[in-house]
Amino acid sequence: MERGTDSRGKRKLQEEEGDGYGALSLDELNQDLLERVLSRLPTSTFLSLTSVCKRWKSISDSPTFKLACSEVPARDPWFLMVGPLPRPGKCIVFDSVGRNWKQLGRSPLLLSKLDSIPVASSGGLVCFRGARDGDLAVCNPLTGSAREIPRSDLPSDARTLHAIVMRSRPLRDHSFDIIVVHGEFPKLFFKGFDSKLGTWGPDIALTRISSVLNSDSLEAESTSESVYFLSKAGDVVATDMLRSPSKQYSSVMIVEDGGEILYFLSSSGTVVGCDLARGSFSEYPRLLPFCLEYSIDVMECRGEMVVAVLSEFLDTASLRIWRFDEECRSWAQMAAMPPSMSHEFYGKKMDINCVGLNDRVFRYILYDVAANEWVELPQYRVNGVGLEFSSAFSFEPRIEASVPRFDWLRKEQRGFQFLRAVFYVTCGWKSRISDLDHVQIMSLE
């Protein structure tokens, strides 16, 4: 009897020892190893863990931890939501990993500039522009770190400002560029702000070329003039687009053949590509004729320029994603929303707004390119009431992303790399996200 008891006790002891074999508490790790482990966690998970103990909370301020974070090549994006009205003190973001909504505090700098709206993003930073004075500021929405960009001699007339794009530098470099395109067609210029130097460069003229256009393109496709036509409702309609303020300067930067190409939409809805290295620009063929009413926006997906087009035909609406085939010199369809989903947009005259991060496009509808699935996301609610959004900007939630001072610049290492793309559509009170590996779309009535 005793022998059996001893045998059972011995087996139990061996099982307990076996269960604990190889187990190691995070508290037993040295500081360097702990920082490396925590830096690999999703940002939202790490932020939750900082409430566990003071040691982990203090790690977020550690220079070596931020260096370890910068070695992570890419993070799944969060989406900074933009509504028709500013929300003082709060920013609403959607976490693509946790598939949930979060509230972030606004930077003190932006609290003093309530009319500022996001106009561009790159890596972990977002660029804001003042609606009244046109001043630019750069902010990390996650940490609240922000700085104003020195003023330039950019035109105050918003009609001559066509594109604002932000570009983060390679891994482990605390710098970024802001590039703007301005002028009156066909006399366009671009200039850039270099955060390393803390100054704006000179205006550089862009020469117009027509190699992208088909030889039989209509003269009316010139972006220098508005064209009027009679809509099916009997209204006289101009080709000039009315965009959501935050997407008025919507543009993307793509690296092609070692050179940088900036794409934006003209006021008449044609895609314009600016080769910054060669100092030239071209207009792309129009996807649909002037006489058809449609909404369009440009974005980046998987390293190339694509457009999302919402159009109506035969008493229904379709939402399609197109890429430009350089060999055929024509547009090729990449994806289409199922008719059962896109039909609800019929007759609602929406403005489609897109934003991209490599293979994600967001609408409030998640579209998975690999699985070819469209999934509707939950609506964000405040006190039981659904909140409307008109557009969004994607950014990587990077704790280490900071804005350097422009009077003295300190080189630190950090990493930004686009991995996702997101594009947007709001339909009255309804909103959704498409995920091209993921895409967010919002349309605005």
| Residue pLDDT, tens place only, 321-371 | 899 998 888 899 988 888 877 777 776 666 677 665 545 555 567 666 667
Q: Rg of the chain over CA atoms, in angstroms?
A: 25
Q: Which pLDDT does position 117 carry in this prediction?
A: 86
Q: How confident is the model at residue 134 (pLDDT cuts 50, 70, 90)?
A: confident
Q: Are 188 and 316 found together in one domain?
A: yes
Q: Are 214 and 190 found together in one domain?
A: yes
Q: Are 237 and 362 found together in one domain?
A: yes
Q: Are 327 and 287 found together in one domain?
A: yes
- Asked if residue 1 is part of any domain, the answer here is no
- Asked if residue 309 is part of any domain, the answer here is yes
Q: Are 191 and 43 found together in one domain?
A: no
Q: What is the pLDDT of residues 366-405, one digit of tens each?
A: 666 667 777 777 788 888 777 777 788 889 999 988 887 7
Question: Does the CA dihedral 340-344-347-352 come out positive or negative?
Answer: negative
Q: Are 128 and 216 found together in one domain?
A: yes
Cα–Cα distance between 164 and 128 in angstroms, integer?
10
Q: Which pLDDT does position 300 carry in this prediction?
A: 84
Q: How confident is the model at residue 73 (pLDDT cuts 50, 70, 90)?
A: confident
Q: Are 68 and 189 found together in one domain?
A: no
Torsion of CA 211, 214, 220, 224, to 10 degrees: -20
Q: How many domains does the chain have?
A: 2
Q: How confident is the model at residue 443 (pLDDT cuts 50, 70, 90)?
A: very low
**Ranges 9-18, 185-194, 212-221, most confident:** 185-194
Q: Which pLDDT does position 387 carry in this prediction?
A: 78
Q: What angle do CA 58, 63, 64 make, to 5 degrees?
A: 95
Is residue 126 pLDDT above 60, yes or no? yes
Q: What mean pLDDT comes out for the span 266-289?
A: 89
Tell which of 72, 103, 123 closes a domain.
Answer: 72
Tell which of 20, 49, 72 closes a domain.
Answer: 72
Q: Are 61 and 202 found together in one domain?
A: no
Provide the residue range defining the domain that includes 128: 73-444
Q: Are 284 and 148 found together in one domain?
A: yes
Is residue 151 pLDDT above 80, yes or no? yes
Q: Are 218 and 234 found together in one domain?
A: yes
Report the DSSP pairing between strands 125-130 and 176-184: unpaired
Q: What mean pLDDT comes out for the span 212-230?
A: 46
**Better-predicted residue by pLDDT, 121 or 153:** 121
Q: How confident is the model at residue 434 (pLDDT cuts 50, 70, 90)?
A: very low
Is residue 439 pLDDT above 90, yes or no? no
Cα–Cα distance between 155 and 182 in angstroms, integer?
8
State phi, psi for 36 to the nearest 5 degrees: -65, -40
**Ranges 93-102, 269-278, 424-433, most confident:** 269-278
Helix (H) or strand (E) holding 8: helix 2-19
Is residue 142 pLDDT above 80, yes or no? yes
Q: What CATH number has the domain bearing residue 103?
A: 2.120.10.80
Q: Which pLDDT does position 426 carry in this prediction?
A: 32
Q: Which pLDDT does position 159 carry in this prediction?
A: 64
Q: Are 44 and 164 found together in one domain?
A: no
CA terminus-to-terminus distance, the chain:
82
Please report, for residues 203, 261, 262, the alpha-carbon distance to residue 271 in angstroms, rounded to integers and kept in the order given: 22, 12, 10
Helix (H) or strand (E) holding 426: strand 423-427
Helix (H) or strand (E) holding 255: strand 251-256
pTM of the model: 0.77
Is residue 155 pLDDT above 70, yes or no? no
Tell which of 44, 72, 100 closes a domain.
Answer: 72
Q: Which pLDDT does position 414 carry in this prediction?
A: 34
Q: Are 388 and 345 found together in one domain?
A: yes
**Ranges 32-36, 213-217, 314-318, 366-370, most confident:** 32-36
Q: What is the pLDDT of residues 51-66, one digit of tens each?
A: 777 777 888 888 899 8
In this structure, of 171-175, 239-243, 273-277, the range with the lowest mean pLDDT score is: 239-243
Q: How confident is the model at residue 442 (pLDDT cuts 50, 70, 90)?
A: very low
Maximum Cα–Cα distance across the chain: 102
- Asked if residue 24 is part of any domain, the answer here is no
Q: What mean pLDDT comes out for the span 269-295?
A: 85
Q: Which pLDDT does position 178 carry in this prediction?
A: 95
Q: Which pLDDT does position 339 carry in this prediction?
A: 80
- Which two structure tokens, joined as six digits, stand for 89? 């003190």
Q: Which pLDDT does position 188 carry in this prediction?
A: 94
